[in-house]
Structure 1
């Protein structure tokens, strides 16, 4: 796998990209997902849910140590044969793609609800894909810089929510562990949807300019994301309580309405604006991943055509199956479980084959 020097990523850029793929606009509804089972202990469930990405880090450290210059798509065909390896890689593509339509639908609904109600879905989605595809076509290095920018945007919009501590109630988060360990663990499974797609690292680790830093870059990404997710869930429960959260769609949006900054009339507008840029970053990453895997399966000369096909398919699926928030929740409950399970089996299988055939491959 030949990689030009100008495409190499710094360890920090790898960290930012991994944060970018995990942390997207769906985080605003994370408290809704876990409170249904874990109640006031939902924030504990989110923290425990970080075990999944930590397992992914463990596997990637092992795989990258054996093949630092080859991504998992190449390794899959090396050990499984070209035909079966390609099939596994195609399923890996579909596992990523399954997250794409609900992401687009969520962004479109948020934009029309919170920012620009007069815009039609087709206009919103067209702009999203135009900007996202353009950013993705510029390459992984540019995506790294975009993710660096959105990382600081996340900091800017999360830090002010600390002020909510003066407005919530400790009664809303008590008693701690009151729902029981079984329900807390069940809630942690619901949070794996938000932690998923860290598997992107199996595609980009050959791009890092110092392979010794893969472990630290990935751990930083998981640590930061776990802290943000835990905080979002904690402060939402602390401010709203477990009974009110299920009555909202994006509960964390409600929390941002309570943030008061002297020089800012309405912090919610700033939050929505930055959140939209973070959303475009996610669209760009998904387009890049889809094209990256498609290119591995079959060399494509006219990439613009593939980008257009991807956009049309995603928008049609988003409109047909994910246009309604309730329907979206029901569908993603199953698709995310299948995708996360497949990715878990896929990376574990590849790591196991590397270990079993460590003497060499014929």
Structure 2
């Protein structure tokens, strides 16, 4: 791949991008899903679920070590030919695209619930997509800077939640392993989907300005996301207990509302504002992934027009099929599973081809 020097990412930008595409708005309801079965051990399920992004990270480290300047799209066509390679790459594109309606729907519902009750969903979605399309069109370097800034905002949201340790109870997270091993494993399977899209690594590792830093950057991103998810889940259980969590929709919002700051009456609105900013960054990264893959399959002359077309498609899908949280959850139950399974097979298959071809070359020598 021929990449201009000005578009190269620093190792830290690379790390923040990976954190940004994995860590999204679903984090605020993660405690709800994992405590349904694992109860007070939901945070353990989240840690176990990190096995998936770790696997993706290790595969990416291996492949990038062999081909640091060729991403998975290039390797797919290199080993399987343009036709089959492009088909697999297009399916890879869809694995990112199917998240967009769900994420936008979630963000829209939160905005309408807490901040903009009188504004229609159509207007909310349209404004959100204008911002993210503009950011995505600026390229990966700009997204790297946005992701870096977004991470600072994220820390600004999460660090104050440490104060909740004074208000919760250890009884809410006790006894450890009391939820039962099978239930913990069952919930860990669900938490895997929250770690999805770490596969974005395979598109952007050629953009890092120092290939020797890929390993440390990828592992750092995986560790940070796991730590953030674990903390959100643990502190939510510690503060509320699993019974109350199951009665909420976005449990971590309740945690934030419990933070007492003398000069601020209600942190909820500030939290929602910052969280939406974080979510805009995530959507922009998904947009970029879709356009990047599409452009690799077929050269795009007018990217702005493609962004408009994709935005119209996404808004239409969201308005028709993601009208409320119940509809969204039913669809997500299947789409996230299919996407994760396909990506797992796809990256493993390409990594296997890289290994086989390497062995063939060694035998010929």
Same fold (TM over 0.5): yes
State the Cα RMSD in Å: 1.1
Taking the aligned partners of 2:317 and 2:12, their CA distance within structure 1 comes to: 35
In the alignment, the residues of structure 2 paired with residue 158 and residue 169 of structure 1 have an alpha-carbon distance, to the nearest angstrom, of 19
Q: Does the 8 Å CA contact 2:122/2:319 hold for their aligned counterparts?
A: no
Q: How does 1:97-116 map to 2 (within 5 A)?
A: 97-116=97-116
CA distance in structure 2 between the aligned counterparts of 1:37 and 1:215, rounded to whole angstroms: 34
d(CA) in 2 for partners of 1:222 and 1:356?
A: 27
Classify the secondary structure of the residue corresponding to 2:299.
Answer: coil
Moved more, 175-184 or 11-20: 175-184
What secondary structure does 1:133 align onto? helix
Unaligned runs of 5+ in 2: none
Moved over 6 A (4+): none
Q: Does 1:196 align with 2:196?
A: yes
Q: Distance in 2 between matches of 1:249 and 1:360?
A: 55
Alpha-carbon distance in 1 for matches of 2:355, 2:283: 35
Q: TM-score, normalised by structure 2?
A: 0.97
1:97-119 deviations in Å (ceiling 9; x for gaps): 11111001000000000111111
How big is each residue's C-alpha offset from its partner over 1:236-274, in whole Å with a ceiling of 9 and x where there is no partner? 111111112122111111111101122323222221111
Rounded to whole Å, the distance in 1 between the matches of 2:9 and 2:40 is 40
For the residues of structure 2 that align with 1:61 and 1:276, how far apart are their CA atoms?
A: 32
The corresponding residue for 2:347 is 347
Deviates more, 1:152-161 or 1:312-321: 312-321
d(CA) in 1 for partners of 2:59 and 2:283?
26
Alignment match, 2:71: 71
**Counterpart in the other structure of 2:139:** 139
* Residue 360 of structure 1, CA deviation: 4.8
How many angstroms apart in 2 are the aligned matches of 1:195 and 1:81? Answer: 31
Alignment gaps of 5+ in structure 1? none
The alignment partner of 1:357 has SS state of helix
- Aligned equivalent of 1:93: 93
Instruction: Tell me which residue corresponds to 2:265.
Output: 265
Deviation sequence 1:279-325 (CA, Å, 0-9, x none)? 11112111111100000111010111111111111111111111111
